[in-house]
Amino acid sequence: MNISSGTLHALILLFLLSGISPFLQSYRNILVNQHLVTSEYITAVNQPINANMFAKENKVLIIGIDGCRPDALLKANTIFIDKLIENGAYSFKARTDEISSSGTCWTGMLTGVWHNKHNVISNEYKNPNMDEYPHFFHRVKLAKPGLSTYSIAHWAPVHKILQDGDADVIKSFQSDDSVTVAATKYLSEADVDIMFIHFDEVDHAGHTYGYGPEYEEYLKAIENADQRVGQLISALESRQNYENENWLIMISTDHGGSETGHGKNIPEHTTIFYIVSGKDAIKGEIKKQVFVIDVTVTALTHLQIDIEPSWNLDGQVSGLPES
């Protein structure tokens, strides 16, 4: 009997898909008896098809735009962020920590707990409680040490809560453009699993010109951030293995502001936006109350890392389907 390897594999696939009828059973015996295949080979390939064999790799990109008020984001011309909103879940009424300073709020976002637990109550980062409430990268590395983690920031102090080994790459730069150049290069060329990106120039505009939709310079800074988001998305979609990856893109901020400052427990300072975009995200406005601390829990959930009760996290999953 003369049979090509392609025909042989097609017949074996037929066994898998059709079950073993008496006819196929007889033909399988012929293949074995003629020494065209071994019985061990038939046994090996005749295993149940596991859906996980075809599952895409879950990955997370978190983009933080420092000091970006949601009402100003809605007024600004943000074509790239708008596309992410259209393909995901969002809230423009999310809440950040009552201590609306950058150190406190970024730490809340990246640990999943409020300041009474992580103990960062100012931008000085005195005595952070990272033993009990570490950066979520730390939990990623314990659960799935093979995943690669990147943190790229304009405001370098955001890295102070990273412990040794938490991040494979830690970079800080003096401009949002430099952050974008580095981040797009890594996204295009490296085997990234989780990346956190921090942009700071919207907050600079707020401190200089004023926070709010009435300040043109502030709106312009938001629009510039949107263009950088577009570059990040373009780099992500250019990845060689992109079709086999399942990215969750999260965009949020640490705090708002009023006039040229922030730090108070008032709505103008503590109301933020929260966007989750991607194939796994639900579509439309998130009706429940969303918090800055939800970023960590949602990211870990997308990465299929179980949230242990002993972690005592304050955040919840927001923007993904209920399990």
Domain co-membership, 237 together with 288? yes
Helix, strand, or coil (residue 2) = coil
- Domain termination site, one of 49, 64, 85: 49
CA distance 19 to 28: 12
Share of the chain above pLDDT 70, in %: 83
The span from the CA of 262 to the CA of 186, in Å, is 33
34 and 101, same structural domain?
Answer: no
| Position 322 in a domain | no
Give pLDDT, residue 322: 78
Distance (Å, whole) CA 16 – CA 48: 8
Sign of CA dihedral 88, 59, 136, 171: negative
Residue 318 lies in a domain: no
- For position 54, what pLDDT does the model report? 57
- Residue 27 sits in the same domain as residue 149: no
- What pLDDT does 7 receive? 46
| Whether pTM exceeds 0.75 | yes
Domain total of the chain: 2
Q: Using CA atoms, how far apart are residues 164 and 130, in angstroms rounded to an integer?
A: 12
- List the structure tokens of 134: 């570490």
Identify which of 189, 277, 177, 188 has the alpha carbon closest to the alpha carbon of residue 235: 188
* DSSP state letters, 136-182: HHHHHHHH-TTS-EEEEESSGGGGGGPPTTS-SEEEE-SSHHHHHHH
Does 184 share its domain with 216?
yes
More confident residue, 140 or 39: 140
Residue 56 has pLDDT above 70, yes or no: yes
Looking at residues 247-266, what average pLDDT do you find?
A: 98
- 27 and 97: one domain? no
Least confident interval from 20-34, 107-121, 147-161, 278-292:
20-34
Phi, psi of 309 (to 5 degrees): -55, -30
Q: With 50 as the cut, is the pLDDT of residue 207 above it?
A: yes
pLDDT confidence bin for 232, thresholds 50/70/90? very high
Give residue 45's pLDDT band: very low, low, confident or very high (50, 70, 90): very low
Return d(Cα 317, Cα 323) in angstroms, integer: 10
Same domain, 37 and 165: no
Lowest pLDDT segment from 26-30, 55-59, 246-250: 26-30
**Counting every residue, how long is the chain?**
323
Does residue 23 register a pLDDT over 90?
A: no
Sign of CA dihedral 131, 60, 69, 209: positive
* pLDDT at position 43: 53
Quick one: pLDDT band at residue 204, thresholds 50, 70, 90?
very high
Residues 201, 306 within the same domain:
yes
Mean pLDDT of the residues in the chain: 89
Average pLDDT over residues 278-307: 98
Across 288-298, average pLDDT = 98
Read off the pLDDT band of 30 (50, 70, 90).
low
Residue 273: helix, strand or coil by DSSP? strand
pLDDT for 121-156, tens place per residue?
999 999 999 999 999 999 999 999 999 999 999 999
Count of Cβ atoms closer than 10 Å to residue 33 Cβ: 10
pLDDT at residue 173 is higher than 70: yes
CB of 128 within 8 A of CB of 118? Answer: yes
**Model pLDDT, residue 48:** 53
| Model confidence at 1: pLDDT above 50 | no
Domain around 20: 5-49
Could you tell me which residues are beta bridge partners of residue 171?
Answer: 152
Candidates 173, 176, 171, 172; CA nearest to 205 is: 176
- Do 29 and 163 belong together in one domain? no
Number of Cβ within 10 Å of residue 150's Cβ equals: 22
Tens digit of each residue's pLDDT (9 = 90 or more) over 311-321: 999 999 999 99
Residue 111, in any domain of the structure: yes
- pLDDT tens-place string over residues 85-135: 999 999 999 999 999 999 999 999 999 999 999 999 999 999 999 999 999
